[in-house]
Structure 1
Amino acid sequence: MLTVGTPLMWTLFALFVLLALALDFFALSRQGAHRVSMREAGVWSLVWVAVSFLFMGWLWWYLGGLGDDATARELANTKAIEFTTGYLIEKALAVDNVFVFLMLFTYFAVPAEFQKRVLMIGVLGALVLRAVMILVGAWLIAQFHWILYVFGVFLLFTGIKMWWAAGQEPDLDNNPALNWIRRKVRIAPDYDGEKFFTFVKGVRMATPLAIVVALIGIVDVVFAVDSIPAIFAITTDPFIVLTSNVFAILGLRAMYFLLAGAHERFHLLSYGLALVLAFIGIKMLIVDFYKIPVALSLSVTFGILVITMLLSVFIPPKGKSGTAYPFAAKKGESSGSEKT
């Protein structure tokens, strides 16, 4: 499969990601458990967005965006737009991740000072998962062109399903994954700091924090299945696909703390994401008849997201009431116990 990524570019990008993760884990270990403020989340969100667009600018320059070769300039412009569009789509879909994370943290009453570590583990898992799925997806598309139609149908179906599900409160009490974990794993009734396992009356049990990490891993899989086909509708270049995904995910933790307090303000965003997925699905299905320009895809995606976010501000959400339930048991069951 054709790609602008040279061995040097792949190496430099891998080193950057490893360095970013190492610095993040180092900062996490130095700070320990603490509540992330809006200011801290806002600063880091801006840093990751700035780094992402600096990378896009470097890529554009590296490919000849300032050169005299018209072919190189056209390639540089195309790849820069592809990266920006892919980044925007993945960032928008990541907002849906944020709202699901918020639902999990609320349901399990995860203390604010523990959320940062859980999200860091979730980001690491998402990075590994996306890398594997992108490589597999790129190979499938290179071998079987018709797989694009499969992706297109899947995205169109997902968009329709997301539209109908928008505004509905997920029922975690009846969630199959959570119920399976409850049947297979002994869950402690309370947290034990940031530990994933503890002892209750001499019995080793998983803490609620471990269950949240497991569920976030499942969420990563679900959202990767949605987002990977979406980015392949924009470009089939593995380097652009992976880099746009990774940069969107690296800022996910900071974006969570920035948006967690304002999730009701963007209550219509799910409708916008549904339209974006449906549009991308249609784009894939008609690719052999009409190839929608990447610049137009960027404009449509950006326009849909901006409109739905503005509408969210001016149209108040319907009244909702939510309750956090005991994590070790379903409603009505006792959760009291003694740790040793």
Structure 2
Amino acid sequence: MTLALPFAFEIGTYIVLLLILTADVVIAFKRPHVPSTRESALWIGFYVLLALIFAGLMLVLGDAEHAGQFVAGWLTEYSLSIDNLFVFLLIMAQFKVPRKYQQELLMVGIIIALVLRGLFIVIGAAVIEQWSWIFYIFGAFLLYTAANQAFTNHDDEAQTENRLIRFLRKRIAITDDFEGAKLRTTVDGRRFFTPVLIVLIALGTTDLVFALDSIPAIFGITQSPFIVFTANVFALMGLRQLYFLLGDLVEKLVYLKYGIAFILAFIGVKLVLHAMHENELPFINGGHGIDWAPEIPTFVSLGVIVASMAVAVIASVVKLRMDARDRADIGKPPRVR
């Protein structure tokens, strides 16, 4: 089913999103500060409401199928963005970035993520248009990513970053201390880079890895470049505020990575089934589609995504409470009989 929306709506969407992102950048750089819990919660609520209004407009101007695709894609990208957020936390902690400068660097990281995802969306849409069999590769890649997500520790990624940092420090003059969010500074008449350079490179490489994961995932839900792009933008908006709202809580949601891994595996299977249904490879079923390969409906995908994240978060919260109770019991004096 082809997405048919008024041209004015699509153009208006791009303009509004650009204005909102520009305002967010201006706020981050003009007023560097640590957002309060209330401020962060209000901004996140605003962005979530904006995404739901957008989905409602798609329902009215388009149809329920594509509105559902947007919501499913947005939730998938949002869950992957939260995982991205976890690595951002590790990077900020590893380089001891002063908290009041973190939002500026996060904003740069988010802009890099948007640019990379925009490029991959254009490339992905062109590839899919030309070769439908690419869904086999996308599906296999997501299944691999799901296994990697479930069984790889984020600390291993930090070790990879450490090797990169050691490589850079040997070849580039970099100071040990931050000077606000300045990229370069002068020491004894010599120009040096500040650790901001390393943080930005670390954020950029992280964004690249997550863009490689997220684009095949959302193309498994919709093939509309407009929906793919807007879902990514809405998922990344508010990520800076979410970083300060959740803080260390993200690290404590121990089952979150399994929920994300399940979503990626589910979409990987969905992509392979879609590739089989639309098959054009001559060595598979003589180049004809495989009729018994089911197409998983959008609203089934939406239900699986919501249920996976809900189960992962609830299970993590239950474990947090049980661990807190166990620590409290250990600290209690023994009962006297």
Match of 1:48 in 2: 47
CA distance in 2, matches of 1:117, 1:168: 24
Q: How does 1:63-74 map to 2 (within 5 A)?
A: 63=62
Task: Percent identity, please.
Answer: 37
| CA positional deviation for 1:136 | 0.8
CA gap of 1:113–1:174, structure 2 versus 1, over 3 A, is closer
CA distance in 2, matches of 1:62, 1:137: 26
Match of 2:114 in 1: 127
| CA positional deviation for 1:166 | 4.4
The structure whose residues are more often helix, as a share, is 2
CA distance in 2, matches of 1:318, 1:196: 44
| CA positional deviation for 1:268 | 1.2
Residues 1:249 and 2:248 are matched in the alignment: no
Match of 1:20 in 2: 20
Q: Mean alpha-carbon deviation: is it higher for 226-235 or for 295-304?
A: 295-304
| CA positional deviation for 1:93 | 0.5
Task: Give the partner amino acid of 1:16.
Answer: V
CA gap of 1:174–1:244, structure 2 versus 1, over 3 A, is closer
Task: Give the partner amino acid of 1:105.
Answer: M
| CA positional deviation for 1:267 | 1.6
Picking from 185, 190, 197, the partner of 1:198 is 185
CA distance in 1, matches of 2:204, 2:99: 19
CA distance in 2, matches of 1:36, 1:207: 24
- Contact kept, 8 Å, 1:5 with 1:239, in 2: the verdict is no
| CA positional deviation for 1:2 | 4.5
- Any stretches of 5+ residues in structure 1 without a counterpart? 64-75, 320-340
CA distance in 1, matches of 2:273, 2:160: 41
Q: Mean alpha-carbon deviation: is it higher for 139-148 or for 180-189?
A: 180-189
Task: Give the partner amino acid of 1:277.
Answer: L
- Contact kept, 8 Å, 1:167 with 1:267, in 2: the verdict is no
Match of 2:295 in 1: 291
CA distance in 1, matches of 2:118, 2:29: 26
| CA positional deviation for 1:213 | 1.4
CA gap of 1:198–1:168, structure 2 versus 1, over 3 A, is closer
Task: Give the partner amino acid of 1:59.
Answer: M
SS at match of 2:101: helix
Runs of 4+ in 1 over 6 A off after TM superposition: none
Larger radius of gyration: 2
Q: Mean alpha-carbon deviation: is it higher for 179-188 or for 132-141?
A: 179-188
- Contact kept, 8 Å, 1:87 with 1:245, in 2: the verdict is yes
| CA positional deviation for 1:122 | 1.2
Q: Mean alpha-carbon deviation: is it higher for 142-151 or for 212-221?
A: 212-221
**Deviation string, structure 1 residues 73-115 (Cα, Å, up to 9, x no partner):** xxx1101110000000000000111110000000111111001
| CA positional deviation for 1:18 | 1.6
SS at match of 2:247: helix
| CA positional deviation for 1:8 | 2.3
What count of residue pairs does the alignment treat as equivalent? 306
SS at match of 1:315: helix
